[in-house]
Amino acid sequence: MNRPNPSHEQPLELAWVGGEFVAPAAAKISALDRGFIFGDAVYEVIPAYGGNLFLLEPHLQRLEHSLEITRIRNPFSHTEWRNLLADLVARCGDHDQSVYLQVTRGVAPRDHAFPDIEPTVFCMSRPMVGVSTELLQQGLAAITTEDIRWNYCHAKTTSLIANVMLRQQAVDASADEALLLRDGQLTEGAASNVFIVVNGQLLTPPAGEQLLHGITRERILELASKEGIPVAEQQISEQQLREADEICISSSTKAILPVTRLDGTAVGTGSPGPVWKAMWRAYQMEIEQVRRGAVG
Ligand code: PDD
């Protein structure tokens, strides 16, 4: 998936903080920053293929939405965000990159209520970690677990300790992802959205406050319709999840991946299924177009 960085002069990874480009390991933020003290911050993860940011517009819209929900001031205009992120990616080269941006409420003496201060912005780009052929052939293992998170899961905040604990629960069970159940209904993964396939139909829980409105999720729904695969956003019970023909997860860094084992039991045939294969192919074709600069 990754192509080598063609120029030795360009850094493979780079950060932007305090108005300057620096090596990520050298980036410094005050210990009094509310992002550090309270997790009082929002973020985005945006893929770039061949040096071109993919689905930047919806990512920026979701950033704005997260900032509105948390009442953190947006420090930049749309154009300023676009220019900054394009500059960051261009400085790294045309290899596939994962761009992270974070906006915190800013630096202030510790007090829970909002201070009237400038937000802090931190961005970084790192090479995208590709998915191995072996993993694509075998699929992922997932566990189910109770969704212990709060009621603002549609805001992409850095207060991720619950997600971190849930993902670790999966890792402790030698699995790759935790699929979350709230009141017996599927919400999403610890760091992904979830789809199931039933009788050829691609289903995913509806976008509400219980899950992140994934940019990949949205694009998968659009691409599936184009591919002639019927889609529906509807509640998915634990039983439907367990009886699904296929399960897939999606995120900006992993596109769409098949889950072939759930709580140690085979999903469907136990191998990546035909609907996942069709969606993976369609998504990879789009990524190729982005690499060639044909779509953004
Ligand atoms: N996370 N749900 C959660 C809880 C997530 O953390 C993510 C992605 C998604 C998928 O959203 P998108 O398709 O917009 O990437 C859903 C990112 C990749 C992360 O935290 O690294």
The predicted pLDDT at position 285 comes to 97
The predicted pLDDT at position 2 comes to 43
How far is ligand 1, taken at its centre, from the CA of residue 9, in Å?
32
Q: Can you give the pTM of this predicted structure?
A: 0.96
How far is ligand 1, taken at its centre, from the CA of residue 109, in Å?
31
The predicted pLDDT at position 8 comes to 52
Answer whether residue 9 shows pLDDT above 80. Answer: no
Atom 21 of ligand 1 has which residue's CA nearest to it?
45
CA distance 22 to 171: 33
How far is ligand 1, taken at its centre, from the CA of residue 272, in Å?
22
- Our mutation pick for probing the ligand 1 site, out of 44, 45, 154, 157, counting the most ligand atoms within 8 A of Cβ, is 45
CA distance 181 to 235: 11
CB atoms within 10 A of CB 38: 15
Digit-coded pLDDT (tens) for 172-190: 999 999 999 999 999 999 9
Nearest CA to 72 out of 142, 158, 139, 182 is that of: 158
* Nearest atom, ligand 1, residue 254 CA: 18
The sheet with strand 14-17 has its strands ordered as: 20-22, 14-17, 120-127, 97-104, 41-49, 52-53
Digit-coded pLDDT (tens) for 240-251: 999 999 999 999
Question: What domains, with CATH codes, occur in the chain?
Answer: 14-127 (3.30.470.10), 133-291 (3.20.10.10)
The predicted pLDDT at position 196 comes to 99
The predicted pLDDT at position 4 comes to 47
Pocket of ligand 1 (CB under 6 A): 45, 163, 188, 191-193, 212, 214-217, 250-253
Atom 2 of ligand 1 has which residue's CA nearest to it?
192
Cβ–Cβ under 8 Å, residues 68 and 89: no
Burial class (CB in 10 A: 0-12, 13-18, 19+), 19: exposed
Q: What are phi and psi of 197, to 5 degrees?
A: -115, 125
Digit-coded pLDDT (tens) for 25-60: 999 999 999 999 999 999 999 999 999 999 999 999
How far is ligand 1, taken at its centre, from the CA of residue 146, in Å?
18
Atom 5 of ligand 1 has which residue's CA nearest to it?
191
The predicted pLDDT at position 295 comes to 75
Cβ–Cβ under 8 Å, residues 122 and 15: yes
Instruction: Give 294's pLDDT tier (boundaries 50, 70, 90).
Output: confident
Residues annotated as catalytic (active site), given as ranges: 156
Cβ–Cβ under 8 Å, residues 275 and 200: yes
Residue at token pair 């201070």? 115
Answer whether residue 229 shows pLDDT above 80. Answer: yes
- What are the distances in angstroms from CA 111 to CA 74, 107, 108, 157? 21, 11, 8, 19
Nearest CA to 287 out of 258, 253, 244 is that of: 253
Contact partners, residue 7, CB within 8 Å, separation at least 6: 93
Nearest CA to 4 out of 48, 42, 67, 50 is that of: 50
* Nearest atom, ligand 1, residue 215 CA: 14
- Our mutation pick for probing the ligand 1 site, out of 252, 279, 283, 286, counting the most ligand atoms within 8 A of Cβ, is 252
Digit-coded pLDDT (tens) for 215-226: 999 999 999 999
* Nearest atom, ligand 1, residue 153 CA: 4
First to last CA, the chain: 18
CA distance 84 to 108: 25
Percent of the chain residues past pLDDT 70, beyond the cut: 97
Q: Nearest 5 degrees, angle CA 48-CA 49-CA 50?
A: 120
CA distance 125 to 12: 8
